[in-house]
Amino acid sequence: MRMLLIHSDYLEYEVKDKALSKPEEISEEQKKGRLDEVLAAFMSVEKVDEANPEEIVQKAVEEIKNVASQVNAQNIFVYPFAHLSSELAKPEVALEILKAIEEKLKEEGFNVKRAPFGYYKAFKLSCKGHPLAELSRTIVPSGEKKE
């Protein structure tokens, strides 16, 4: 998994069009979303992650928790983003992993939103610009090598 973490004043998105033939079913309310004072986590789930999805979920949650505590962020935006890798996991696996990350972060007490999966989306982001505001992480199952 490739993750881009941006500590932001806000992130807002608007669904524009289907980017997959079968995108995630969403309600009218989910077509737009916004969080203020947010740690935005843009994530590309990778083929290598299919070897151990549970471990990837655990490692991703740990990484996000660590950064959230360093930047003192309570709001997290889980954002599916297929542009951080050229070795993408199958959509059905990616969606399950991202849903699990969302659930575990909620269990940890964070206020979490997840942007809809399988769509083209317009978004606005206001990066805070402090030294820890822009971070990237690469996560792979144990025993797999990081490319």
Ligand X SMILES: C[C@@H](O)[C@H](N)C(=O)N[C@H]1[C@@H](O)[C@H](n2cnc3c(N)ncnc32)O[C@@H]1CO
Which residue ranges make up the site for ligand X (CB under 6 A)? 19-20, 43-45, 80-83, 88-89, 91, 94, 117-121
CB of 97 to ligand X, least distance (A): 8
- We find the least distance from the C-beta atom of residue 43 to ligand X, in angstroms, to be 6
The tokens describing 89, both together, are 């996991």
Residue 5: CB minimum distance to ligand X, A: 15
**What one-character DSSP code corresponds to residue 102?**
H
Nearer to ligand X, 73 or 101 (CB): 101
Nearest to 25 by CA among 101, 122, 73, 95: 95
SS3 per-residue string spanning 26-93: CCHHHHEEEEEEEEEEEEECEHHHHHCHHHHHHHHHHHHHHHHHHHCCCEEEEEECCCCCCCECCHHH
CB of 117 to ligand X, least distance (A): 5
CA 83 to chain centre: 12
Residues 31/70, Cβ–Cβ less than 8 Å: no
For the CB of residue 118, give the shortest distance to ligand X in the complex, in Å: 4
Q: 19 — phi, psi (to 5°)?
A: -110, -10
